[in-house]
Amino acid sequence: MEQERRYIAVDLGAESGRVMSGTVGGKKVGLEEVYRFSNGPIKEGASLRWDFDKLFSEVTSGIVKAIKRSDGEVSGIGVDSWGVDYGLLGGDGWLLEKPYHYRDNRTDGMLEKAFQLMAKRDIYENSGVQFMQINTVYQLLSMRLTRPEVLARAKKLIFMADLVSYRLCGRAYAEYSLASTSGLMDMRTGQWSKGIFEKFGLPMNIMPEVVQPGTIVGELKSELCEEFGCKPINIIAVGSHDTADAVAAVPAQSERWAYLSSGTWSLMGVEAPKAIINGNSLKYSFTNEGGVENTIRFLKNITGLWLVQECRRQWQREGVDLSYVDLSAMAEKAEAFAGYIDPDYSGFLSPGDMPARVNNFLAETGQKIINDKGQMARLILESLAFKYRSVAEAIEDITGEAIEILHIVGGGMRNELLCQFTANAIGKKVIAGPIEATATGNVLMQAKAAGQIKSLGELRGIVRDSFELKEYRPQDSKLWDERYEKIKSR
Q: Which residues are catalytic?
A: 242
**In 10 A of CB 130, how many CB atoms?**
20
> What's the chain's Rg over C-alpha atoms?
22
Number of Cβ atoms within 10 Å of the Cβ of 364: 10
Q: What is the maximum span of the chain, computed from C-alpha positions, in angstroms?
A: 64
Helix (H/G/I), strand (E/B), else coil: 242: helix
Rounded Cα distance, 412 and 92, in Å = 41
Helix (H) or strand (E) holding 398: helix 373-399
Contact between residue 442 and residue 78 where contact means Cβ atoms under 8 Å apart: yes
Determine the Cα angle at 33 with ends 29 and 38, to 5°.
Answer: 140
End-to-end CA distance of the chain: 56
Asked whether the beta carbons of 408 and 267 are under 8 A apart, the reply is no
- Kindly report the number of other CB atoms within 10 A of residue 329's CB atom: 14
| Core vs surface per residue 219-256: b (16+ CB within 10 A) or e | bbbeebeeebebeebbbbbbbbbbbbbbbbbbbbeeee
Instruction: Give the DSSP letter string of 133-151.
Output: TTSHHHHHHHHHHH-HHHH
Residue 335: CB atoms within 10 A of its CB come to 12
Distance CA 24, CA 18 (A): 19
Q: Following CA atoms 148, 151, 153, 156 in sequence, which dihedral angle do they give, to the nearest 10 degrees?
A: -170
Contact 7, 443 (CB under 8 A): yes
- Look at residue 248 and give its three-state secondary structure: helix
Residues 6+ apart with CB under 8 A from 185: 127, 129, 179, 191, 192, 193, 210, 290
Q: What is the C-alpha separation between 276 and 282, in angstroms, rounded?
A: 10
